[in-house]
């Protein structure tokens, strides 16, 4: 017996396999998934024959098992608003909320410089003043 898998369901089996294969390859190339995890494609042909044993209905299923995305950790500050009693959660990083990081500081230019000229002399404005 020789069954051509390309012809089952008028080519639907091949099309579904191709779709699952694309998912597998995409999952394998995703840097957010562990490279060691095994991916699988399963083709299931389930046959249910009639009472006379002359014909069988065939249910075709093509599924894939992909690697899960890697987990990661973050931090949340949690609390309760004392006025409204509403619970709050806000993600935070290695910064104090509202604190500026280096990426927030603009480079010094003539326009935003603290150096001002007064009577021909260049003066720096005092911090906080």
Give the helix, strand, coil percentages of the chain, each rounded to 5. 20, 30, 45
Do residues 39 and 66 lie in contact, with contact meaning Cβ atoms separated by under 8 Å?
yes
Neighbours of 62 (CB within 10 A): 19
CA distance 16 to 59: 13
Give the torsion sign (CA, 100, 102, 106, 110).
Answer: positive
The tens digit of pLDDT for each residue in 22-75 reads 999 999 999 999 999 999 999 999 999 999 999 999 999 999 999 999 998 988
What's the distance, CA 16 to chain centroid?
24
pTM: 0.60
103-113 residue pLDDT tens: 677 676 666 56
């Amino acid at each position: 017996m020789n069954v051509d898998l390309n012809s089952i369901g008028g080519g639907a089996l091949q099309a579904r396999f191709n779709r699952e294969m694309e998912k597998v390859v995409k999952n394998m190339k995703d840097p957010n998934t562990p490279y060691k995890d095994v991916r699988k494609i399963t083709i299931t042909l389930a046959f249910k024959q009639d009472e006379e044993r002359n014909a069988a209905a065939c249910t075709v299923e093509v599924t894939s098992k992909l690697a899960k995305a890697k987990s990661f950790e973050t931090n949340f500050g949690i609390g309760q608003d004392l006025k409204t009693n509403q619970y709050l959660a806000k993600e935070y990083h290695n910064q104090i909320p509202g604190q500026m990081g280096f990426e927030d500081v603009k480079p010094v230019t003539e326009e935003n410089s603290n150096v001002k000229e007064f009577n021909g002399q260049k003066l720096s404005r005092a911090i906080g003043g």
